[in-house]
């Protein structure tokens, strides 16, 4: 068989039943009563999910597992020529606090289903393939997001990232060390086959499968998104200061109320955002978190802070918006830029391959931009990278009701299987 025929054979062996069962099993870790998932990075729920998914393949012939200094996990399916750089797929296992069961999880499980399909079809590839489970993509517990994939591409970031604290005062470094120890203990007690996975190592190409998390594919009644770029993203935290004093005794003239300053600034930001998003449908401005200290009902706030999530496909617009946001928050005692990522174009040849895959497999598809960021964003600076999307029902994500019909998840996985096989069997 030529490589295209091998690729079609692998795509044909993808099983929606197996895919659905793995997604169901994975959703048990951090399962919420409302059907969603709370599996924040490096929590006990995340460690259980990591142990389970690595353990599925770690003792199978032809497979090896590894963890790196950012606790990124890699599941490797050996190829005929170990000297060749691997083809990489995967996504993240961590979720939002009230997340869905597909954001991230689908990309990891889809990669593993490609492995299952190759095994079933008896295909040995030239290049090894690896599925990555990147650490802390979401950035909820430790901010910002994309810590694991960023550190893989630029290990010099690790020292700074290790000192980031979560709300309980635990450092990212301590959480990473516990995860690496947990992995090592599981590997020892279960006889896992391991390999050495240094950061920044050579990768032949990277393809990440993910749910769209927006409404475009469903609106167009299409099954697969061939993603050509990710829009730029900037995160800010605006902090306002005041002086704590008694709510019942302090007259207006004596008040220095941080809440008054923060609410006024947030209100101005949201008012500007509404007008600007009306004028420019590509613009996204969100105030997602608002906190006050000491957060006591009968004490005037000494501090109040809120976050802003700013997104747009054009970096010049992001730059101009940043100036306006800082102006509106001029009363802030501290402004922090937590994340600043310019728009990232994906590899044109890989994007072409994703479209070829969908055409050959008869999958209705379209080329599109990603509104959400993904681990593919940093990877694109390290190796030719592209993404494949499956539709999201009602465009909903970061919500327990997140859902995609299994036939659409299967279609996207078939396209992934085709592309990965083509890349891993070059001749």
Q: Which is nearer to ligand HGY, 101 or 422 (CB)?
A: 101
Confirm if 421 and 7 have CB atoms less than 8 A apart: yes
Nearest-approach distance from CB 141 to ligand HGY, in angstroms: 12
* Minimum CB–partner distance for residue 379 and ligand HGY (Å): 15
Q: Which is nearer to Mn ion, 211 or 328 (CB)?
A: 211
Let me know how long the chain is: 427
Q: How many CB atoms lie within 10 A of CB 417?
A: 32
Based on the shown chain and the rule CB under 5 A, indicate whether residue 79 belongs to the binding site for Mn ion: no
Q: From the list Mn ion, ligand HGY, none, which binds 373 (C-beta under 5 to 8 Å, kind-based)?
A: ligand HGY
Relative to beta strand 365-370, strand 129-134 is unpaired
From CA 150, how far away is CA 267, in angstroms rounded?
33
Is residue 241 within 8 A of residue 302, CB to CB? The reply is yes
What span, in angstroms and rounded, lies between the C-alpha atoms of 200 and 378?
Answer: 11
Q: Is 351 left (phi over 0), alpha (psi -120 to 50) or beta?
A: alpha
Which is closer to ligand HGY, CB of 79 or CB of 232?
232
Asked if 103 is part of the footprint of Mn ion (rule: CB under 5 A), the reply reads yes
Residues 258, 236: Cα–Cα separation, whole Å: 18
> Does residue number 46 form part of the binding site for Mn ion (CB under 5 A)?
no
Give the nearer residue to ligand HGY in terms of CB position, either 233 or 266: 233
Least spacing, CB of residue 411 vs ligand HGY, in Å: 22
Phi, psi of 92 (to 5 degrees): -135, 150
Q: Which is nearer to ligand HGY, 79 or 214 (CB)?
A: 214
Nearer to ligand HGY, 89 or 370 (CB): 370
For residue 104, state whether it binds Mn ion (rule: CB under 5 A): yes
Measure the CA–CA gap between 387 and 79, rounded to whole angstroms: 23
Give the nearest distance from C-beta 289 to Mn ion in angstroms.
15
User: Which of ligand HGY, Mn ion, none is residue 104 near (CB under 5 to 8 Å by kind)?
Assistant: Mn ion
Footprint on this chain of ligand HGY (rule: CB under 6 A):
137-138, 145, 372-373
Residue 64: strand pairing partners: 76
Q: How far is the CB of 253 from ligand HGY (least distance, A)?
A: 43
Dihedral (CA of 348, 352, 3, 56) sign: positive
* Of 32-40, 99-107, 146-154, 193-201: span binding Mn ion (CB under 5 A): 99-107
Interface residues with Mn ion (CB under 5 A) are 103-104
């Amino acid at each position: 068989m030529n490589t295209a025929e091998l690729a079609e054979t692998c795509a044909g062996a993808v099983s929606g039943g197996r895919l659905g069962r793995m997604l169901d099993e994975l959703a048990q870790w951090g399962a919420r009563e409302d059907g969603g998932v709370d599996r924040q990075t490096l929590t006990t729920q995340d460690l259980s999910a990591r142990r389970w998914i690595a353990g599925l393949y770690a003792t199978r012939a032809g497979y090896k597992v590894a963890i790196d200094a950012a606790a990124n996990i890699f599941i490797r399916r050996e190829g005929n020529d170990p000297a060749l750089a691997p083809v990489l797929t995967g996504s993240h296992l961590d979720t939002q606090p009230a997340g869905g069961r597909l954001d991230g999880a689908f990309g990891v499980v889809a990669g593993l289903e490609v492995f299952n399909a190759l095994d079933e079809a008896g295909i040995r590839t030239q290049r090894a393939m690896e599925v990555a489970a990147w650490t802390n993509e979401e950035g909820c517990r430790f901010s910002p997001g994309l810590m694991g994939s960023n550190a893989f591409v630029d290990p010099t970031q690790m020292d700074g990232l290790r000192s980031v604290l979560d709300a309980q005062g635990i450092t990212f470094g301590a959480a990473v060390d516990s995860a690496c120890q947990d992995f090592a203990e599981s590997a020892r007690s279960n006889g896992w086959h391991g390999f050495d996975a240094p950061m920044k190592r050579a990768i032949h190409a990277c393809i990440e499968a993910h749910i769209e998390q927006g409404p475009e594919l469903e609106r167009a009644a299409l099954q697969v998104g061939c993603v050509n770029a990710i829009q730029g993203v900037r995160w800010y935290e605006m902090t306002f200061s005041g002086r704590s004093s008694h709510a019942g005794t302090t007259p207006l003239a004596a008040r220095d109320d941080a809440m008054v300053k923060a609410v006024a600034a947030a209100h101005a930001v949201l008012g500007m955002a509404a007008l600007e998003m009306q004028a420019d449908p590509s613009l996204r401005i969100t105030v997602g978190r608002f906190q006050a200290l000491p957060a006591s009902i009968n004490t005037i706030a000494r501090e109040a802070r809120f976050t802003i999530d700013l997104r747009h496909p054009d970096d010049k617009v992001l730059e101009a918006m940043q100036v306006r946001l800082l102006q509106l928050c001029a009363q802030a005692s501290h402004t922090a830029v937590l994340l600043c990522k310019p728009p990232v174009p994906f590899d044109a040849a890989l994007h072409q391959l994703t479209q070829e895959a969908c055409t050959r497999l008869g999958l209705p598809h379209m080329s599109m931009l990603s509104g959400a960021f993904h681990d593919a964003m940093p990877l694109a600076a390290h190796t030719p990278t592209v993404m494949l999307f499956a539709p999201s029902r009602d465009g909903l994500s970061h919500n327990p009701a997140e859902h995609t019909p299994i036939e659409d998840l299967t279609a996207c996985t078939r396209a992934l299987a085709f592309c990965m096989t083509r890349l891993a069997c070059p001749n």
